[in-house]
Structure 1
Amino acid sequence: MAAGRGLDEASSHANTGGASTALLLGIDLSTQSVTVVFLDAGTNRIVHIDTLNFDRELPQFGTSAGLHVGKNGKVTSPVQMWLVGLDRILRRQERTLMGRVKAVSGSAQQHGSIFWTADGLAALRCMAPADSFSSNLYGGFALEDCPTWADSSTQMECDAIESATGGPGAMAALTGSRAYCRFTGPQIARVARTEPLVWKHTARVSLVSSFLTSLLVGHPAPVDASDASGMNLMNVRTSEWCEELLEATAPGLAARLGTIVNPWESLGPISPYCAARFGFVTDCLVIPASGDNSCSVVGTGLACDQTASTLMVSLGTSDTLVGLTRSPRPGPEGHVMVSPRGPDEWFAMLCYKNGALAREAVRDRVAGGCWKKFDDLVASAPPGNDGNLAMTLVMEEIVPVLPIRGSFRVDAQDEPVAALSEAHEARAVVEARFLSMRVHAGNLGLPTAPSRIIATGGGSMSTSLTQVLADVFNAPVLVADSSEAAAVGAALRAGHGLKCKKQARWVELLASPLKDFKVMATPNAQAAAAYPATLLKRFAAFERGLVAKAQKHPQAQQSRE
């Protein structure tokens, strides 16, 4: 869900823009890299992109894919690596570009947490421009290696917090999600429980996004409501901290969190430190950074659909479905988060762990590892797969919660079978994903009959996958280059915040740089008719049967990553 991504090249130029054109800057502090994107403020077209890959350019921190992987599910990233990387990439930008930036915002990997000391906060306010972020803030953190979205060590804390709030359903109704290991609340709870001295010396907890914002404004920044949605600490309907959750999470947490702000609010001008060190103009406006999922909602153009009838589907290592809604229905599966676009709106998300890995497992079994043969097999089986249903679980799944692994199949009469034909096996693993998305999207309050679907990720280039997706949802599937979607979304959010500031009120977010989409698939009327409500009910029952099987014969205790 929040997995990091970087560009293949260290630097890329889309166009040069006019020498005096005002610019918007988006900074994406992701898991594997930090990326800067400059947009022309008038056209929203990309002027310049640059990426710094942590593993390759900062090998001294010893990370793999930007992470330190420890024991028992513990996964962290070094805060000094983020400081060094951010300083380096901003320093190497041409000051003629930096001086044209009128507003800046950021995107960051969701769910990570930074633990500041009082000395670190004091140093933040009086940094010397001659020195780097790292030099100025060295020793300013109670925890040098920070928990990230990849951490799965907090199941005990998840269970305890859910128990204190009435169970997973009650937790989801309150915060938008049940307690997940990667969410910030359980991360904080674990630090407070297992490292009491660290917690004692923690004066402030930041998300990676509010950490980035703090560096830009030169003082502890509030958390934007959209990213705060991924903490299991905020009331998702009121955008206020939930007192009972704060108390259940860690002692004295309320005093360490700061406030929550709207995603489009101005936090004032860039700090004098950043202006002097990097070449920002002193009146450059800072808009709060948000999570990468929130920024991608903007960067892909999803946020510019005023009818909220578009869905975004990412087909990668994990599969996700995202859509905007004004009638959210949070539940134990999936997530509901505050929209970055405007008030009284949310986006809902489904995240599946068994994405490309499941498709690859079936490909290896029936197509000898060849994607072309796999695609041909998918296309050769009829829509609806002759009534055969199957699910391949390479890892324990979270939608629905399935702490089991293996391949599970039923025939058209819902009788278990040991195997299907090669074509039926290939089509089943594809149909299962999209049937599940359609079933659970409706449960979260998302449209099950969207006007279009924006597809991203490696799987979006497969004609067989996108055709099945189009037929199952009876909607055209469009593709745009979204490799920089989070950073572009951050820059667009900077422009949105600038407009709101100038007009002293909230204004509609209308701008999108993605004007030209490629149509990958359009629904075939006969094929779409092969996915009626009765099939959706059958598939939902198939999932429920696997849940019951897992509860009766669990193979392992699953952590909700």
Structure 2
Amino acid sequence: MKYLLGIDLGTSGTKTVLFDEMGKSVASKTIEYPLYQLKNGWAEQDPDDWYNAAVNTVKAVIEESRVNPADIKALSIAGQMHGLVMIDAHGKVLRNAILWCDSRTGEECDEITNAVGKNRLIEINANPALTGFTAPKILWVRKHEKEIYDKCSCILLPKDYVRFKLTGKKAIEISDASGTNLIDIKKREWSLEILNALNIDPSLMPEIIESSAVAGTITKEAAALTGLLEGTIVAGGAGDNAAAAIGTGVCKDGQAFVTLGTSGVVFAHTSKPSIDPLGRVHTFCAAVPNSWTAMSCTLAAGLSLRWMRDEFFSYENKEESDKGNDVYDLMTSKASEIPSGSDGLIYLPYLMGERSPVLDPEARGVFFGLSARHSKAHLTRAVLEGITMSQRHNLEVLHEMGICPSVLTACGGGGRSPFWRQMLADILKCKVDTIESKEGPALGAAILAGVACGMFNSVEEGCAKFVVRGSAKSVPDEVQTKRYDAIFALYSSLYPALRPSFAKLASLRKQLDGEKVPKYKSVFSVEFERFGKIISGVDVKKVGELLEKVDCPTDSVAYVPSEPILETKELKEDIQNRVFGGLDIEIGYCSGHNRVLNCLEYHRNSELNITGTDAIFMLAPITAIKDGIVDSSSVETFFAPKGTAILFYETSLHYAPCHSDDNEVFRVCVVLPKNTNTAKPKLVKECDESRMLTHNNKWLLAHSASPEAKMGITSGVVVGTNLKLD
């Protein structure tokens, strides 16, 4: 009898399974290890914990099975993706690995996007820069721990490090390399364009190998530790999800699976790279040669349920464990007694930030609709539903890409639980089936090992021989599906509404942690998105030069709606076509010196501002107006560097006389559709609407301390503190 070993290197622990030549599990062993979270959003592990777990689990299954090591023909590893392992010239680990679920690298993602270009990065790598990926972690270490970076001789991913320790060979396997942000997806090789743009020495990146290729053989030292024979073949292996695909038989077009482990994944196979231009889901190289995958990844799927277990069911967990039962069965049993929708309670599963499809490291978990009548059972059902809703959110993106599986194979906790499996069918609105094997990634790794040693001629042949479909299936319940459609509509509206608040919370956390935060928020930040957007391509340098020619006061504010100096033919044509859809425009300016909020104005048309100096804007949403009154507490302050073109939405109030940050005169170019703007008014024009309206386009709300209010120009009122910049 011939045998194959599949090693599943996960975040919680490493599981090694020994399979016979029919694909039957002969023995298995799991060893857990700690996760280190030194700060909110950080996640690290010791790579040698992985290696020790792999060595000891391999040794344990050989001893338990009493199989002759000579009959074990090959092994490979399925591993958690994206983790950064840095080793020196002697192969020694330089620091703990930064994991896939670590969200510290937001700034580095921005650096990558700016250096490579957002669209170009997706063209080459098929994915945007994400905090979970490896490249931003490399940049973070280079910036914050340069002494470690300078000692680094080679960069590896988690399973590739363990394979290096077993074989002495350095290499990164293709499906895992896909998640670094550093390869050319179509060419299946390192992208020198990206590496050069990020100033990463290509020599740090080892050879890329295919998943089923022979990556090396067991060394004498590793043989002594594991009980394997020296020279046993080790295949390239695969990232955990790519291996899980093989272990569930997903190796051809039209096949897909959903897994709810620590993370949640919807994964589809494709014979050509299918790319989401917005980068909401990932396209990676598959473990099958010359194939690709489209997959989503929510960061805290099973992790959310584990958090519920540890924080809300610790007592029950001990009780059930003493009885030999699994507390998750108790939790899902209690949740099944609650009606779908959890009596109006919705959970957003963003405990570790989020990757797919919202791409936001600052997002955090939310219970929405919590009331005094909700019990632990309600919370549990809401968590289960929220996790599953996140998978539907991702599946809808795959549908947009033309990937529409009618059947999903469920694995992980969601596949084993009849209750959760039915919930998957009802929420995802498709049939859900299962496989007999419960080993998923470990089975996929074993199949890859079988190809490497010649037991199978191809991955497809290995899947056909080893993967057995299960009898447990679930089909959508029409009544529940309709209920979940309504729930999903509200679920999917919550993140957009909370996105700026998540960004504010991130700044607050930094303050509470004693970290230095910028004095003012940036117009390039998430928090600015509801007020306007940055416009690229405008000749801001030319605008700045023209603004320098404008005569502006040094002790007051000047506002001119139309200025001939600025209204050059080239500039007008470009802006009116680039920004205003061809509408005739007028270009004016606001300049001077003023650091006190006197009034807010709202233009019914969108307004383009181009900063000729560093400037500060005070803004409020139009929704802040209640009966012609806005509280100054609704006002937010943003910094815009010189040379920024900003389109303020028509739903934004802003204080037009903005400010420089250095007590000098500011200059801002102001562009609006022609004849929709006025100079600073002296008298209000009566109209059918309220006296807030100073002309047919502009509403004005003034603080009682302002000249406008004292002159009776408007009845629109700003209440609260009259804001003043430091």
TM range (shorter): 0.7 to 0.9
2:87 alignment partner in structure 1: 116
1:24 alignment partner in structure 2: 4
Answer yes or no: is the 8 Å Cα contact 2:249–2:467 preserved in 1: no
Answer yes or no: is the 8 Å Cα contact 1:401–1:547 preserved in 2: no
What is the Cα deviation at residue 27 of structure 1? 2.3
The 2-side partners of 1:354 and 1:33 are apart by 17
5 Å-filtered alignment, 1:270-289, equals 270-275=218-223, 278-281=226-229, 284-289=232-237
Structure 1 residues 352 and 284, CA gap change in structure 2 (3 angstroms) = closer
Between the two structures, name the one with larger relative contact order (CA 8 Å, sep ≥ 6).
1
| Equivalent position to 2:35, from 64, 67, 81 | 67
- Residue identity opposite 1:77 in structure 2: Q
Q: Do structure 1's residue 162 and structure 2's residue 113 form an aligned pair?
A: yes
2:410 alignment partner in structure 1: 455
1:350 alignment partner in structure 2: 297
| Equivalent position to 2:100, from 128, 143, 149 | 149
Question: Deviations 1:302-345 (Å, cap 9, x if unpaired)?
Answer: 425x343333232x554332222335223332322211123133
1:309 alignment partner in structure 2: 255
The 1-side partners of 2:502 and 2:99 are apart by 31
The 2-side partners of 1:512 and 1:499 are apart by 14
The 2-side partners of 1:202 and 1:394 are apart by 33
1:235 alignment partner in structure 2: 184
5 Å-filtered alignment, 1:72-471, equals 73-91=41-59, 93-94=62-63, 96-120=67-91, 140-141=92-93, 143-167=94-118, 170-220=120-170, 222-252=171-201, 254-275=202-223, 278-281=226-229, 284-299=232-247, 301-304=248-251, 306-314=252-260, 318-326=263-271, 328-330=274-276, 331-353=278-300, 357=304, 371-378=332-339, 392=348, 395=351, 396-398=353-355, 399-401=357-359, 403=363, 406-408=366-368, 434=388, 436-444=390-398, 449-471=404-426
Answer yes or no: is the 8 Å Cα contact 2:4–2:450 preserved in 1: yes
SS in structure 1 of the partner of residue 453 of structure 2: helix
SS in structure 2 of the partner of residue 34 of structure 1: strand
The 1-side partners of 2:365 and 2:459 are apart by 48
TM-score (norm 1): 0.72
What is the Cα deviation at residue 223 of structure 1? 1.0
1:46 alignment partner in structure 2: 25
1:476 alignment partner in structure 2: 431
5 Å-filtered alignment, 1:505-520, equals 508-511=461-464, 513-520=466-473
- Residue identity opposite 1:323 in structure 2: A
- Residue identity opposite 2:186 in structure 1: R
Answer yes or no: is the 8 Å Cα contact 1:28–1:36 preserved in 2: yes
Tell me the percent identity: 25
The 2-side partners of 1:267 and 1:295 are apart by 16
Structure 1 residues 75 and 529, CA gap change in structure 2 (3 angstroms) = closer
Answer yes or no: is the 8 Å Cα contact 1:449–1:474 preserved in 2: no
SS in structure 2 of the partner of residue 522 of structure 1: coil
Structure 1 residues 96 and 180, CA gap change in structure 2 (3 angstroms) = same
What is the Cα deviation at residue 351 of structure 1? 1.4
The 1-side partners of 2:489 and 2:403 are apart by 14
What is the Cα deviation at residue 255 of structure 1? 0.6
Answer yes or no: is the 8 Å Cα contact 1:26–1:104 preserved in 2: yes
Answer yes or no: is the 8 Å Cα contact 1:400–1:543 preserved in 2: no
Answer yes or no: is the 8 Å Cα contact 1:356–1:459 preserved in 2: no
SS in structure 2 of the partner of residue 107 of structure 1: strand
Structure 1 residues 451 and 509, CA gap change in structure 2 (3 angstroms) = farther
2:476 alignment partner in structure 1: 523
Question: Cα RMSD (Å) of the superposition?
Answer: 4.1
Structure 1 residues 307 and 557, CA gap change in structure 2 (3 angstroms) = same
Structure 1 residues 30 and 556, CA gap change in structure 2 (3 angstroms) = same
Structure 1 residues 102 and 389, CA gap change in structure 2 (3 angstroms) = same
Q: Which has the larger radius of gyration?
A: 2
SS in structure 2 of the partner of residue 111 of structure 1: coil
Answer yes or no: is the 8 Å Cα contact 1:104–1:287 preserved in 2: yes
- Residue identity opposite 2:238 in structure 1: S
Structure 1 residues 373 and 447, CA gap change in structure 2 (3 angstroms) = farther
The 2-side partners of 1:428 and 1:72 are apart by 24
The 2-side partners of 1:171 and 1:440 are apart by 21
1:18 alignment partner in structure 2: none
Answer yes or no: is the 8 Å Cα contact 1:76–1:151 preserved in 2: yes
The count of corresponding residues between Structure 1 and Structure 2 is 480
Question: Deviations 1:423-465 (Å, cap 9, x if unpaired)?
Answer: 9999887666555534532423677653422223434455444
Structure 1 residues 392 and 72, CA gap change in structure 2 (3 angstroms) = closer
The 2-side partners of 1:499 and 1:350 are apart by 33
The 2-side partners of 1:240 and 1:544 are apart by 39
Answer yes or no: is the 8 Å Cα contact 2:347–2:385 preserved in 1: no
Structure 2 unaligned residues grouped into runs of 5+: 313-329, 510-726
The 1-side partners of 2:90 and 2:334 are apart by 60
What is the Cα deviation at residue 186 of structure 1? 1.3
The 2-side partners of 1:393 and 1:270 are apart by 41
Answer yes or no: is the 8 Å Cα contact 2:262–2:302 preserved in 1: yes
- Residue identity opposite 2:254 in structure 1: A
2:617 alignment partner in structure 1: none
The 2-side partners of 1:465 and 1:436 are apart by 14
SS in structure 2 of the partner of residue 118 of structure 1: coil
Structure 1 residues 539 and 211, CA gap change in structure 2 (3 angstroms) = same
SS in structure 1 of the partner of residue 405 of structure 2: coil
Structure 1 unaligned residues grouped into runs of 5+: 1-20, 55-65, 121-139, 410-416
What is the Cα deviation at residue 257 of structure 1? 0.7
Answer yes or no: is the 8 Å Cα contact 2:215–2:235 preserved in 1: yes
- Residue identity opposite 2:476 in structure 1: P
More helix as a share of residues: 1
- Residue identity opposite 2:72 in structure 1: V
Structure 1 residues 516 and 309, CA gap change in structure 2 (3 angstroms) = closer
Question: Deviations 1:496-540 (Å, cap 9, x if unpaired)?
Answer: 22338x86x886543454425242522335655777xxx59x956
What is the Cα deviation at residue 239 of structure 1? 1.4
The 1-side partners of 2:178 and 2:281 are apart by 13
